[in-house]
Amino acid sequence: VHANENKYWMGLDLHKPEAQEIFRQLAARADIVEENMRPGVLEKWNVGYPQLKEINPRLIYIAKNGYGQWGKYAEENMPSNDGASQAWSGFAWLSSFPGQRPLKSRLYTCDNFGGLMGEVAVLAALHHRQRTGQGQYIELSQTESIIRMMSWVWPYQQVTGKTAMPAGNRDVCVSPADTFRCRDDRFVAIAAATPEEFSGLCAAIGRPGLARDPRFRDHLTRLRDENTLE
């Protein structure tokens, strides 16, 4: 409810023909229809994109679900939710610590990111319609969306030839970059990638000589497993 305070809403039982007719009347006047049902459900209820585009060719229709509208998981009619997408995408595994089980984010990361990517697509479709007058059908997979957010994984694997592995709080692209417990039992987050940042960090902790240590002389050297400051 807290995310929909500025919206009017109504409930329709789309199993019933009279509800389907009301839905079609609304869609005839709508700019956008969004749904996140399993593939084919709204078509079965006579309010899917093939039916609605006949009464509103300018309609922008986005189908958002866990695994898309075709392919193995769509054919198996698999439902999804945020936790399932975190698992299937590998996001939970890469978010964990070495040697531990996959770590599900407490936040609904896949739900929110998938929704955000969907609205970006809708805005692009609206811009396209303004220029051409054409509506669009948009298919979006929640799981694929979060895979695309894991952008560093794919070039890392291509460049290094290694599979990206869980690294806990450690950043495999920046060193030092982690959270550290202080003497007063508080935590501090540190990220120092550039030479200037690392030199400043060494001065701040009272060990300026570390900036000249061969193990830490440049960023790539600090990223080596044996030299990473933890």
Catalytic positions, written as ranges: 111
Token pair of 149, please?
């957010």
d(CA 41, CA 127): 28
CB-based contact 32:24 (threshold 8 Å): no
Determine which helix (DSSP H) or strand (DSSP E) holds 114, and give its type and residue range: helix 109-132
Amino acid, res. 65: N
Q: How many helices (H) and strands (E) does the chain have?
A: 11, 5
For 39-152, where are the alpha helices, taking DSSP H only? Answer: 41-44, 49-55, 72-75, 82-88, 91-94, 109-132, 142-149
